[in-house]
Structure 1
């Protein structure tokens, strides 16, 4: 796992500034503390920070091909590199190292841009082809590894593993993109392919990008893979039961290759427990596992993690975090580079910190909920859509629309009475309804929060367009499958994988994600919703397959999530920070917000009238971003 960076002058006479590239590379030293080096050729400068995992003494980067035609910088792991090595060696390609980096180079020389189809793993890389004077870039299929880029006013194309790499360039444009502010206050993150800055982008998962000398504008990224949404026939329940464990075990097995200590996160949830169970069956030594607990029982899952650790006799380490562990707020704003509002980033940061004390590589269970319909919201979405199918939109809108507007937001009431969002969603179509239920601040709440000036600048733009762009591809699928697909394209990459990448790399820890192996995803997404959601139980097919491997209490207990007690913080130790930060001059004079609504959100929460913890956290992280990144 590493950090990459680069500069390419598009004008014929341009050459990269070495000091600027060094500054860009140094800011991501946490991603690769073991080594750092540079390559310069005409208009191009490439930089790399290395975290040594495989071929510890060899495989330096930037790496030149044996014929000196191409040079690569690469972040990630290619799990089938040994097979590719053999195939390419048989074709006459020379190898001077024993790692996966040189395999990418020779694969590019043999297959050109189509080399990405040969690679199985997580990756973000850039290859400078000296013969063709072109820069070829690619990101893995699921978006596990990040890739940011921008075309600067100076005519320089810049890229890096983190957005802070780009912002180190003195010519970087820090103007914020208005539409991504709307997106952020909907989702809590900035969805691909945009960043919070006007002229910088994220290379979307499963895409490549080519830029050549002499170009004057950014080219379009090209998609080479997507989650398959067309199949001849779905998997039967018997096929899932017969094949799931063997297929997942193979995805786990290829991720156990490392020349450094390796372990796994063990939260006590189904996904991480399943990964640990299969790891234990694949290696003779006990698995190194780690878990974070909280000193408040409602947020603590360590007893379930301990069940799995005891069953498989793992080397298990647990650390308890205080419920008042809120010192990370400003550090998180620095790590994530743009507004990011998933509060579980705090315990994720802590569990990565714990893991790095003992291992350099950790396997995680991320992806199971999106792939097998594990989130409770999928069950609710399915129920809502059944009502939609019974009542045409012409009836639902006049029936549920007024209810959604007039029904109070009863945060203090039992769950069955908290129906405002549901009423609103019932007056909408499937995609609009799911968007509404996924929103941190719903459309009506954002309208109150934003200033009139900012609303005018948005010119009718709505974050719903993010969902609609992807939903068009899967309108032939059932509502739950549509929601799963939307989550894979947005929430999984923009929130979950972003959270884990920044939190882990802050501690120079590599995290591997076997459930998101693309071959496993291609097979598993064919599991029908009827097998995944049964009797209100999500991930049913996944859990049934794991029954021989995990305790019943781990498989079928109520899902807890990796939560922190925000509501209590904002009525106690963080109350004053709320008032000071959210009502600061920087926020109130930014032009984005209605000051009276900011005041009301805080007051209603502090007095106990509402639970506004999610929007308040979203605002607090935005304020921290503004204060640190826009100085």
Structure 2
């Protein structure tokens, strides 16, 4: 695992400031503390920070082909590199290392841009081919590894693993993108391909960008997508056997390392499945790490201990105090742009613990999306059945009216909390799912933003992120559609971002067996009835795991990796929230309606409403502004900030 950075003159061969490139590389030292190097030639600079995992002695980067004409800087792992080496050697390529990185330069020589289709792994890389005068950027299929880039007005293309790398360049347009702000307050993150800054972009998952000197910079190209065909005729028993074998293969590939290796163990189904599989593949006890909470409402450590005891792992546990809120500014600096998933706090802590014991940790991330594990999936399917019973032309006015007049009753038993359901029934499927996952829903964002900022948005709504992906989903199956949407949005923008930054802050490599693209492709062929059955999510996964895990782990209610925000904001953080939300930093932006900010604080702290999630979202935006030193009141126009087709 590493950090990469680079500069490329798309128009000529200007020399780049060596001190600037060193700053770009050094700002991501945490991603690769073992080694670092920089390569300069006319119009090109490539920089790399290395966390040594495979081929410790000869895997240094930038890494070159035989004659030095092709160079690569790479972050991630190519898990099938051992299979590709003999194939490339048969084509005449000579290897000088045992590193998976060297496979990339020879695969580029052999297969060009399509080389990425041969890679099985998590990766982001920048490759320079002097003979073709070409810079090639690529990101893995599911967006496990990040890659940011910007094209400056003078024709310089800059790229880096983290946004803070690009922020070192004085030419980067750091005005706030209004459309990114709208996406953030709806989703809790800025969705690919935007960043919070008008001048920077994220390369989206399964995209490449191939830039040839002297030619216009093209739009990124997509090289892969998942197709939910749902047409695999396997029985439950056959699917269970195949799933177990596919999981074993995915885990086995991710256990290749020359450094200490272990796994996160939360006590949930996904991480427990990974640990159980690792135990079956290893002759030595597996190293496992868990976080316990001193608040029983958030503590899953007993279930993690069950799995650790069953497989006799070397289990390490640390207890996090329920008032562990000192990380707010640390997280804002870590994520570089607004990021509102409060589970980043325990994720940061479990990565901190794991790094004391191992350099590589396997996780269970990605299981909910592919296996159908989220509670919101079951709620959505229930609403879909109700929507299907009545034409949209009837539903929209009827339930739209009920949604407007029915009182919001967060305090009441769930059966009486019908306002949200009425609102959902008035919408189409994509609108309803977007509504269900939004942190601040449409009506709240309208009240949150000032009149002038809403004018800057020009009518843009973050639902367009979902619409864009839904148009490519090629399925009308209710579950498959929202799984596809989550694979494109929530998994990438929230889960993968959280884990990458939290782990890399501690120089820890995290590998995700449940995000293996071949496993994801296979699961997408299975009917939705094997994923959600009645009120049981992850139906197939749990059935396949019954011989491996206790029923108390498999069939208990999902708890999640949460922190007690509501209590914090009425107790130990009461004054801080009020100061941040109502203070000068947010006021100076001109983005917000102060009366509504006042309402959020007062209603929450009086106990009248639970606004903990919206308040955390605002709090993290304020912390971002302070950490980034963004020019106050400066934002880009919606047109200028738009995403190129």
TM-score range, shorter chain: over 0.9
- 2 CA distance for matches of 1:118 and 1:474? 23
Instruction: Work out whether residues 422 and 437 of structure 1, in 8 Å CA contact, stay in contact via their aligned partners in 2.
Output: no
Deviations 1:221-244 (CA, angstroms, capped at 9, x unpaired): 100011123465454423312211
Residue 109 (structure 1) aligns with: 109
Instruction: Work out whether residues 231 and 527 of structure 2, in 8 Å CA contact, stay in contact via their aligned partners in 1.
Output: no
Q: 1:289 to 1:64 in 2, by over 3 A?
A: same
Residue 497 (structure 1) aligns with: 496
Q: How many residues align?
A: 630
**Gaps in structure 2 of 5+ consecutive residues:** 631-645
- 1 CA distance for matches of 2:460 and 2:451? 14
Residue 378 (structure 2) aligns with: 379
Instruction: Work out whether residues 35 and 51 of structure 2, in 8 Å CA contact, stay in contact via their aligned partners in 1.
Output: yes
Residue 309 (structure 1) aligns with: 308
Does residue 72 of structure 2 align to residue 80 of structure 1?
no
Map 1:35-434 to 2 at 5 A: 35-216=35-216, 218-230=217-229, 232-233=231-232, 235-434=234-433
Deviations 1:173-206 (CA, angstroms, capped at 9, x unpaired): 1011111111000000001111011121111111
State the Cα distance separating 1:417 from its structure 2 match: 2.2
Instruction: Work out whether residues 515 and 521 of structure 1, in 8 Å CA contact, stay in contact via their aligned partners in 2.
Output: yes
- 2 CA distance for matches of 1:278 and 1:500? 21
Residue 506 (structure 1) aligns with: 505
Deviations 1:500-533 (CA, angstroms, capped at 9, x unpaired): 0000000000000001101111111222111111
Residue 441 (structure 2) aligns with: 442
* SS state at 1:421 partner: helix
* SS state at 1:619 partner: helix
Does residue 547 of structure 2 align to residue 566 of structure 1?
no
Instruction: Work out whether residues 4 and 74 of structure 1, in 8 Å CA contact, stay in contact via their aligned partners in 2.
Output: yes
- 1 CA distance for matches of 2:344 and 2:541? 26
Residue 477 (structure 1) aligns with: 476
- 2 CA distance for matches of 1:397 and 1:222? 38
State the Cα distance separating 1:475 from its structure 2 match: 5.2
Residue 542 (structure 1) aligns with: 541
TM-score, structure 1 as length reference: 0.99
Instruction: Work out whether residues 6 and 44 of structure 1, in 8 Å CA contact, stay in contact via their aligned partners in 2.
Output: yes
Deviations 1:62-108 (CA, angstroms, capped at 9, x unpaired): 01111222000000001111111111112221111011011111111
- 2 CA distance for matches of 1:475 and 1:208? 22
* SS state at 2:40 partner: strand
- 1 CA distance for matches of 2:259 and 2:467? 44
Instruction: Work out whether residues 402 and 419 of structure 2, in 8 Å CA contact, stay in contact via their aligned partners in 1.
Output: yes
Instruction: Work out whether residues 261 and 287 of structure 2, in 8 Å CA contact, stay in contact via their aligned partners in 1.
Output: yes
Does residue 523 of structure 2 align to residue 524 of structure 1?
yes
Residue 7 (structure 1) aligns with: 7
TM-score, structure 2 as length reference: 0.96
Instruction: Work out whether residues 227 and 473 of structure 2, in 8 Å CA contact, stay in contact via their aligned partners in 1.
Output: no
Q: 1:464 to 1:286 in 2, by over 3 A?
A: same
Instruction: Work out whether residues 236 and 527 of structure 1, in 8 Å CA contact, stay in contact via their aligned partners in 2.
Output: no
Which ranges of 4 or more aligned residues in structure 1 deviate by more than 6 Å? Answer: none
- 1 CA distance for matches of 2:30 and 2:506? 7
State the Cα distance separating 1:535 from its structure 2 match: 2.4
Instruction: Work out whether residues 174 and 630 of structure 1, in 8 Å CA contact, stay in contact via their aligned partners in 2.
Output: no
Greater CA drift, 230-239 or 427-436: 230-239
State the Cα distance separating 1:416 from its structure 2 match: 2.2
* SS state at 2:407 partner: coil
Deviations 1:5-59 (CA, angstroms, capped at 9, x unpaired): 0001123242221111100000000000000001112110000000000011111
Instruction: Work out whether residues 372 and 525 of structure 1, in 8 Å CA contact, stay in contact via their aligned partners in 2.
Output: no
- 1 CA distance for matches of 2:470 and 2:23? 41
- 1 CA distance for matches of 2:442 and 2:423? 10
Q: 1:551 to 1:104 in 2, by over 3 A?
A: same
Residue 596 (structure 2) aligns with: 597
Residue 586 (structure 2) aligns with: 587
Question: What is the Cα-based RMSD across aligned positions, in Å?
Answer: 1.1
Instruction: Work out whether residues 230 and 527 of structure 2, in 8 Å CA contact, stay in contact via their aligned partners in 1.
Output: no
